[in-house]
Structure 1
């Protein structure tokens, strides 16, 4: 027999040489030395890949507890080890595909010689005689190595050159891998039809079992289907598949893995496949309420160093930051406030965990169902993490306040609250009867004529903040918004397809920016709160806990480094300045209804058109910004209770948005135990107020000289005042807060006010405080009466 095999090899070599010679007569003439070297290098590279045996796998995305929420793949393949494949499966595939598998050295020379003779005789390549080694090579090059359709075609082309390369690589495999390793890799890579690649996926797809638990008849069917997985589809051609399965059983008899009696018994069994293929879901569409987060996590990975190919081929395990309990609480919170089926209105919510070295996203959801059926009000649009709606309204007053604090204003600085303001050079339109060259703003309610900055943030008068952004400068407020978290405002084309939102607002000096009329990214808005809560440290919202490959090795994700967006003292002061909203401000009713008393910095916001509203709330442990907006095709306003489109809107941020925030906060562990920092003394009064206090009461000349010595330009303004302090400073204001030494206007008393008459009572008494809970002293009263009457 060895001598006969040697003769066959010699015959094969002669025939092969003839084929190569014939190929050399083709129009290409002959391969150059460079081409031959390149071919050698390619074959060596391919052999290395074949030896490694890494094939496209399924990436699993899990929540923070490790529970899968989605899978991503190009080929549904779950590689298994040899011991995880039933022996009957190995026996079946060898019996039907390569009976001499354990005898040959990768190429069945006996069959190859027979095929080559037939090929030479026919003048073409009509027979293949492929071994399992050769089939593994061909499938690997086609399914794994090929990067495009051209390379796929080359991997399976009918040519002598391709066949010879395949034979050589199949033979070389024997030098690097054992027979069992080659067989295992073959079973793991080949396609079994109905989207299943590899034996584990096939066993699950057709029978709902693992590869280790396959029965003899099941293994015979899977071995048989490889002849043509499309033509032998058991769901479309059950009779053809049954006949092929029985052929495999007969082959197992010939190979002595079954007796004829056993085979006959197995032939009586039906195919036994599931009613329909059991496919593993692919992509985020099956993630349910986690779909928005899943989609964001995939986009985040692709933007931070993990390629699409790694995700769809790498068999990665992506552990995310999604907290299932917080996610459930968030989804329940928004769906309680907004009906998922409501026409043209949605509420979205992100929960972000503050932190100075990372910014974990704990929840991301929408009242809309994540899905592909718009008729059922489903959507796959990235509602919670993309710019949408008409803006967050007065929430943007935070950015103007932050800019003012950074420029020296204290949180207790007293600000004017005019009923109406008309401003030049800061935009156009606004309130009724506004001059053509002005921007006019009126308050929605009635307020005290003056408030501290802290009170103004809680009560939210519009005119105060429009005047304040004039002082800070629009660019300072815009830059503050970007620094604290609205990073996509600098994206080119974010406003009109050409300019960025930030640049457009600056170029047009839009005073209305402080009233929040621009579309906003709800995730970034939530992160604004987390940045302030983290002492001004900005970190990019991160959905990824870890990524590992199929071997358990860490895959690098290039996270954006955190950065100090504002000084820690400024952030802490801003947090304290926002702490009254839930106590006695625009969110206090919602807080009381929820029984919420934990330290919380917050701001409500509503756009003038009532087409969107928001609530930003945070402390050291928790940050979120529920956002309600019109997601329909009309520009209708929104009304409250229930949320709906309406003709005249009455929705405010202290309503459904605030209610959703308190709902999810009450159901998030640690949210109620969060804290807020205490503003430093210099941030309470502020440098500006300290300077004003220093000059009030001083003579005009003295005050002017003092200010000018410190680099301030000084204006003088005469105001009515009493005669006794004529010529002295009764008040002062900063014309703006920009620069190190902003200009100051001194208000000087003109002495025109007469003093009010002093009313002197005919008799004065010193009375002690009444004590209502004590009975009257009757004895003392009688004695006093007797004394008054001389008795």
Structure 2
């Protein structure tokens, strides 16, 4: 029996052996084939059979699309331009809690592999593929995930997954040969998306918690890292419950890998989400109108500047840093001043027109506004007929509209027809306000409207009638052309037959007496201003305006003395700078430098704008002194009694016909600033001069701003500065009454001062004008009969006394200089 069994076992061994050998051969062949195919597949991916593999040089020069940032002069971030809202941060600027949450959740063995975690891959292979357990994760390391974000996957049919996984593994190994672990983590956190067009941990921390990455708490870090699995699904704003649950999973992972104690993790899991959502749009943040203006300028700059690779810079992806002259504190004060005063003025405007409309029954005005609306333009582009558009415009729909929320811009949800919304917006008064450092031309504050979100038109650049703010230009031209400050003019109605029997009138309807130039400007007397421009020459005034930087067309008509020309606030700011700068106007500047993302300066800009001589230094100083009287005792005196500003201020109010535009242009020893207020159409205005005058609409914005400025600890020192004082012998040239009932009451004084005294005082900041009150000749003091020498008339015979005066003036100009 035993022999039989032994013989059977021997036969079995003899029979099975050849089979085993054959099986081993097959297995060996198959394994060899798999290895060969695997190696062939690997090398085909490596050498680009399925697409290029980034080289080490490519990986050393990884450039994410980075937002361009705009900075104020004091370093505050004003805003960004971007396609992907991303700002690059360094490793040391990221909270350790973020790093710990990322490693615990996405790659626990991050510091123990070199880009590929074979143990993790094997675990995924067994549990996910063989056992169908999805809890084991995807098996990709942080480096591989980074590669997937930097170099998007491609389709390769049935080979898509193995090709992409192999490709990512190859690049990940290559990446970790170039970068250390901290660099990889930093690159990853600067790259990954967090939903809502937010990329990178800096933008995510700002968007969801209004913080920098360095200040994120562990539970906040867990929220953001939890979003990486599915940014939309786990968005804390859109899906707070899912986001909270995902956050707690991340906290558990942090406890599992000893980044948190279990008790601490449980404590944090009980905390609410604590979301502090900070949605950014172009309309958010400081100076949106300025940033929109800058966007257009920078796009042109990019067209003419090349990167090292020979390509043009891209404003939205190259991470430029733009440094501007704006001061964030002053800009904030400017915006607060606009909001405070315009909200109050709007309430007054509603009360003023209660029960009626500024435009009355003029529906053509409303129809024109409708056709200019964005909604109408879009419907036309869609090919809608007028009948279809009319039906759409009369159908009520829910919408969000602008409204004042106390003294701040707000949003209201209303149901109204688009046509009603067009009418609704016609009621709003708007404004433009700008502040410029007078000597340098640096723009410090720029407010283009009451709300950029709803009123994107920039009113600092809009041209509107400037009213009496043009008068200082007229008076400066007059002094430059020989009319003295103590020349007296009759305050009487006159009709100018050469100009279609035009009869200019005073806004207060009062006439009589005689005004010096100072008195006429202080009281904004229209009749006198027209006499002055007629005696000076309209052409000379226009020429002075152009030299002063006014580029808008100025008609050669005497009505420009009353501000009939349409000029922008920016142009008026430039022109008024000549009064502070000893007769030089300065071109506004708003940039200091532009750098690349690494801080390398691409272009530096001059600290000061280009200067051009407009008027003599003596005329500039004289005009400043005359405009001080406007503030001390004239149409702008509420700066003193209402706003309690006792510092050096000079300026001029302006109100156009029917109160359609209100202006105030003011200068201080350091700044020139201006405000305009008006409606979207000239029909939208106050029907009362007391309410609609520039002193009541625009001046309060200016005064509120400087009141805030002078009461702030950062700028209070400016309130102690004064205008350059005039020496006594020059100040005396203004010592004549601003107004007299009769010319017989005016004492005559010597015209010419001791020339030796003048020669001993050559400081360009002082002014000189003859000090004798001059009475125009001719019957009834008619301007067309004033006995002055016409520009082209033959010179009279030499008169010793006149020569003495002329030589004196020539010597004076030599002393003070004039271009």
TM-score with structure 1 setting the length: 0.61
Task: Find the partner of 2:329 among 320, 323, 326.
Answer: 323
- Give the Cα–Cα distance (whole angstroms) in 2 for the partners of residues 81 and 311 of structure 1: 21
CA contact (8 A) 1:548 1:555 kept: yes
Task: Find the partner of 1:132 among 139, 142, 158.
Answer: 142
Aligned to 2:789: 734
Unaligned runs of 5+ in 2: 1-31, 126-136, 303-312, 351-426, 711-715, 735-750, 753-776, 798-819
Aligned to 2:504: 441
- Give the Cα–Cα distance (whole angstroms) in 1 for the partners of residues 46 and 515 of structure 2: 94
1:605 equivalenced with 2:654 (yes/no) = yes
Deviation at 1:139, TM superposition (A): 1.9
1:510 equivalenced with 2:565 (yes/no) = no
Deviation at 1:422, TM superposition (A): 1.9
Aligned to 2:666: 617
CA contact (8 A) 2:521 2:630 kept: yes
1:562 equivalenced with 2:610 (yes/no) = yes
CA contact (8 A) 2:117 2:141 kept: yes
- Give the Cα–Cα distance (whole angstroms) in 1 for the partners of residues 463 and 778 of structure 2: 48
Q: Considering only aligned residues, what root-mean-square deviation do their CA atoms show, in Å?
A: 5.5
Q: Deviations over 1:189-216 (max 9, x none)?
A: 2113355433455466667887567788
Question: Structure 1 residues 357 and 599 mapped into 2: Cα distance closer, same or farther (>3 Å)?
Answer: closer
Deviation at 1:100, TM superposition (A): 6.1
Aligned to 1:82: 91
Question: Structure 1 residues 598 and 266 mapped into 2: Cα distance closer, same or farther (>3 Å)?
Answer: closer
- Give the Cα–Cα distance (whole angstroms) in 2 for the partners of residues 594 and 269 of structure 1: 52
CA contact (8 A) 2:586 2:611 kept: yes
Aligned to 2:771: none
Aligned to 2:293: 299
SS in 2 for 1:185: helix
Aligned to 1:675: 723
- Give the Cα–Cα distance (whole angstroms) in 2 for the partners of residues 239 and 582 of structure 1: 61
TM-score with structure 2 setting the length: 0.59
Aligned to 1:370: 451
Deviation at 1:178, TM superposition (A): 0.9
Task: Find the partner of 2:462 among 387, 398, 401.
Answer: 387
- Give the Cα–Cα distance (whole angstroms) in 1 for the partners of residues 633 and 219 of structure 2: 75
Aligned to 1:758: none
Deviation at 1:610, TM superposition (A): 2.0
Aligned to 2:280: 282
The answer to which of 443-452 and 566-575 deviates more is 443-452
CA contact (8 A) 1:73 1:311 kept: yes
Task: Find the partner of 1:338 among 345, 362, 365.
Answer: 345
CA contact (8 A) 2:318 2:596 kept: no
CA contact (8 A) 1:621 1:671 kept: no
- Give the Cα–Cα distance (whole angstroms) in 2 for the partners of residues 455 and 44 of structure 1: 78
1:529 equivalenced with 2:576 (yes/no) = yes
Aligned to 2:493: 419
1:406 equivalenced with 2:480 (yes/no) = yes
CA contact (8 A) 1:533 1:571 kept: yes
- Give the Cα–Cα distance (whole angstroms) in 2 for the partners of residues 683 and 161 of structure 1: 92
Deviation at 1:136, TM superposition (A): 1.9
1:14 equivalenced with 2:97 (yes/no) = no
Deviation at 1:7, TM superposition (A): 12
- Give the Cα–Cα distance (whole angstroms) in 2 for the partners of residues 336 and 219 of structure 1: 41
Deviation at 1:220, TM superposition (A): 6.2
1:636-785 paired onto structure 2 within 5 Å:
636-639=685-688, 643=691, 651-658=692-699, 661-662=702-703, 664-666=705-707, 668=710, 669=716, 670-671=718-719, 673-675=721-723, 678=726, 732-736=787-791
The answer to which of 264-273 and 66-75 deviates more is 264-273
1:460-499 paired onto structure 2 within 5 Å:
460-470=524-534, 472-487=536-551, 489=552
1:96-111 paired onto structure 2 within 5 Å:
97-98=106-107, 101-102=110-111, 105-106=114-115
SS in 1 for 2:561: helix
Aligned to 2:439: 356
SS in 2 for 1:578: helix
Q: Deviations over 1:647-675 (max 9, x none)?
A: xxxx4344554565555545534346421
CA contact (8 A) 2:69 2:80 kept: yes
CA contact (8 A) 1:340 1:346 kept: no
Aligned to 2:308: none
- Give the Cα–Cα distance (whole angstroms) in 1 for the partners of residues 39 and 567 of structure 2: 72
1:37-116 paired onto structure 2 within 5 Å:
46-50=58-62, 56=66, 59=69, 61=71, 64=74, 74-77=83-86, 79-83=88-92, 85=94, 90=99, 93-94=102-103, 97-98=106-107, 101-102=110-111, 105-106=114-115
Deviation at 1:338, TM superposition (A): 2.1
Q: Deviations over 1:388-434 (max 9, x none)?
A: 55x2212212222233333444334455665223243x6x5xxxxx4
Unaligned runs of 5+ in 1: 1-5, 25-30, 32-38, 117-126, 143-150, 374-378, 429-433, 490-501, 644-650, 686-692, 695-717, 722-729, 747-791
Deviation at 1:182, TM superposition (A): 1.0
CA contact (8 A) 1:640 1:656 kept: no
Deviation at 1:526, TM superposition (A): 3.9
Deviation at 1:564, TM superposition (A): 1.9
1:197-216 paired onto structure 2 within 5 Å:
197-202=199-204
Deviation at 1:450, TM superposition (A): 5.6
CA contact (8 A) 1:71 1:283 kept: no
Question: Structure 1 residues 677 and 251 mapped into 2: Cα distance closer, same or farther (>3 Å)?
Answer: closer
Q: Deviations over 1:296-327 (max 9, x none)?
A: 25534752687695578638585732434854
